Amino acid sequence: MTQVFLSRSASTLVLWTVVLWTIFSGCELGFFLMLSAVGLAGLWEYYKMLDHKGLPNFKMVGMICGAVLLIGSYHYYSTAGPSQSYDWEMISLLGFLFTVFTRQMFKGLRDVSPLPTMAFTLFGLMYVIWMFNFMNKIVYTVPRAEDGHVMGQFYVLYLIVVTKFSDMGAYLTGSVIGKHKMVPNISPKKTWEGFAGALAFSLLGSYGMYLLMHPHHLTRLTWTHATVLGLLLGFAAVVGDLAESILKRSTDTKDSGRFLPGIGGALDLIDSLLFTAPLLFFYLRVIIKVG
């Protein structure tokens, strides 16, 4: 258990350090390319999990649609900001539907297979790419500094720390004192003790980041926001982990891939962030009214 934990922690630390260093160095394009590579790798793994189970999908169509959404979203958010970018996102979602239906028309009808084929393809785009893209949106939801530099990277750092603290708390607490099964039909190793540990560690991470960011005026969070977000993001991280467990159990796979040692695939790396990133984005936009 110790070796697995250390390997997983080291791989996670190395990857996110590189990603965060890129955006903090001012290289917005590099940050976007790194996030896109991880997101598209996660989408590819999702489709390969379906293949492993023999479930139909249009993986190449899905990959192209995912890349188009990411590129267009980055262009509009980095140039026009969030307020003028929602039209592009709606166009992209409609484009997904048109493209997948058009692809199915050229494939023909075979019993009821067209419906699951289109459904599995579209679900991957929404579950992986659309949700993961909120990490890129968070960078631009905060107004730029007077010198033109982005400022949202501090919230990305906050997001990753709180999410990964939740994952770490669930793993450590569940491994050491976990006795009461949480959802054994989905993930036999998940326990209520681990869930409590996830919330406790996410709160700790949230408070720690607040103490680091607030004195330098890098955040509009208050102690109340730090508490609410710590609990919300901790809960969302657990849900995200369990969501991927449902996919794994449904496709008879242990890991989504072999992206990093000790972690597994790219989807294993970002499963919690798929749920915490949208939650933080809308909290910033609706509750704190950033932007």
pLDDT score for 126 = 96
The stretches of the chain forming alpha helices (DSSP H) are: 2-24, 28-53, 59-79, 86-107, 114-124, 131-132, 134-141, 153-177, 192-213, 223-251, 266-270, 273-282
Distance, first Cα to last Cα, the chain: 44
Closest C-alpha among 127, 156, 66 to residue 267: 127
Q: How many Cα neighbours within 13 Å face the side chain of 147?
A: 3
Q: Which helix (H) or strand (E) holds 190?
A: strand 187-191
- Interval 141-169: pLDDT, tens: 888 888 888 888 999 999 999 999 999 99
β partners of residue 187: 183
Q: How many Cα neighbours within 13 Å face the side chain of 139?
A: 27
Closest C-alpha among 74, 96, 93, 97 to residue 85: 74
In the chain, what are the domain boundaries? Answer: 2-287
Contacts of 82 (CB under 8 A, 6+ apart): 137, 140, 141, 285, 291
pLDDT score for 3 = 59
pLDDT score for 127 = 97
What's the chain's Rg over C-alpha atoms?
Answer: 19
Q: What is the pTM of this model?
A: 0.91
pLDDT score for 149 = 84
Q: How many Cα neighbours within 13 Å face the side chain of 96?
A: 25
Closest C-alpha among 136, 129, 189, 182 to residue 1: 189
- Interval 251-280: pLDDT, tens: 998 776 665 655 568 898 899 999 999 999
Bridge pairing between strands 181-183 and 187-191: antiparallel
Contact predicate 23/31, CB 8 Å: yes
Q: Which residues of the chain have pLDDT under 70?
A: 1-9, 11, 83-84, 108-112, 256-264, 291
pLDDT score for 142 = 86
